């Protein structure tokens, strides 16, 4: 998975930044909340049609989002609530960003884009839900094409390159395929 490779490649950098943030007294949960709040300017940029700016801001917000887990590990403050809060904040972040796009296309009359945004939101939620339900019954479930990391990369690229339509098609299709891949994985695992 691309997200696992990225974590390996950036481990040292993230750990160094996390140690610095920890020395400043920033808690992992505060960083999680800050990561979410940074998505509000992204939503505004997208809702007002500034797609490349929204893409850049989303990339910056995502960097903060990737640091809360590193900070928790570096400070030895990994908690069940922190992991839960991080997952919930990720869902809110994704919904907030896609809401910005939805508001833009409601103003401009992009009917196809509105449907694609709905399908992308639905698929993204199902990717998370299938993992949570699988883990709830004791099955690890990280399979699939599009984890949150890949979804963010795809959206950032679509926004910065002004190819939002193509990015929305990819998100709408691939998120739902990923959810189905996870259903298949759980079925195979439980059928053995």
**Residues designated as active site:** 90
Token match 């909340």: residue? 33
Instruction: Please choose, from the candidates 44, 141, 127, 35, the residue with its C-alpha nearest in 3D space to the C-alpha of residue 89.
Output: 35
Contact at 8 Å (CB) between 141 and 131? yes
Distances from the Cα of 18 to the Cαs of 32, 82, 105, 111, 123, in angstroms? 13, 15, 38, 43, 31
113 sits in which H/E element = helix 111-136
Decide: 150 and 2 in contact? Cβ < 8 Å: yes
Sign of the CA dihedral running 42, 45, 47, 52: negative
At 84, list the tokens.
């839960």
């Amino acid at each position: 998975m691309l997200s696992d490779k990225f974590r390996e490649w950036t481990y040292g950098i993230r750990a160094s930044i996390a140690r610095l943030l920890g020395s400043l007294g920033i808690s992992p949960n505060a960083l999680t909340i800050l990561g979410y709040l940074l998505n509000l300017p992204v939503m505004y940029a997208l809702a007002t049609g500034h797609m490349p700016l929204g893409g850049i801001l989303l990339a910056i917000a995502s960097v903060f989002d990737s640091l809360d887990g590193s900070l928790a590990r570096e400070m030895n403050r990994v908690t069940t609530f922190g992991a839960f809060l991080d997952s919930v904040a990720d869902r809110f972040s994704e919904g907030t960003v896609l809401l910005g796009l939805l508001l833009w296309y409601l103003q401009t009359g992009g009917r196809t884009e509105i449907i694609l945004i709905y399908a992308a939101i639905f698929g993204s939620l199902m990717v998370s839900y299938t993992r949570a339900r699988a883990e709830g019954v004791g099955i690890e479930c990280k399979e699939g094409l599009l984890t949150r990391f890949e979804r963010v990369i795809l959206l950032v690229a679509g926004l910065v390159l002004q190819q939002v339509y193509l990015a929305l098609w990819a998100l709408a299709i691939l998120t739902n395929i990923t959810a189905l891949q996870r259903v298949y994985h759980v079925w195979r695992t439980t059928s053995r």
